[in-house]
Amino acid sequence: GAVVSQHPSRVICKSGTSVKIECRSLDFQATTMFWYRQFPKQSLMLMATSNEGSKATYEQGVEKDKFLINHASLTLSTLTVTSAHPEDSSFYICSAATGFPNQPQHFGDGTRLSIL
């Protein structure tokens, strides 16, 4: 149980393109979803927290107009990197949780984004 599917797994696109990444909880309802960014050989850096039906809460230093997050249902959240540039190239990972404080986060398999 507790499967989180993230799509696509790999994106290569030109500078200036907008890229959408989907995160789905397949077998549970995710009240809360999280988006992380991970640089090589580093730990996960939380970008934003989204609750179903509400605006996302962004961490300090993360541009909300650059990284658009939508959490329209209890099983789907999307991250759109708008007008992507080479410095946005990274490994993006989502996680999902039921919202109960005693339940863990479950992670997707990540999206490797490369902006040329």
Least distance in Å: CB of 86 to another protein?
19
Least distance in Å: CB of 110 to another protein?
5
Q: Which residues contact 52 (CB under 8 A, 6 or more apart)?
A: 30, 31, 32, 71, 72, 73, 74
Least distance in Å: CB of 2 to another protein?
7
Binding site for another protein (CB under 8 A): 2, 4, 6, 32, 34, 42-44, 46, 49, 91, 93, 95, 97, 99, 101-102, 104-110, 112
How many whole angstroms separate alpha carbon 66 and alpha carbon 79? 10
Least distance in Å: CB of 24 to another protein?
13
Nearer to another protein, 66 or 112 (CB): 112
Nearer to another protein, 25 or 108 (CB): 108
Nearer to another protein, 44 or 82 (CB): 44
16 vs 19, 47, 87, 90, 116, CA distance in Å?
10, 21, 12, 16, 9
How many whole angstroms separate alpha carbon 73 and alpha carbon 85? 29
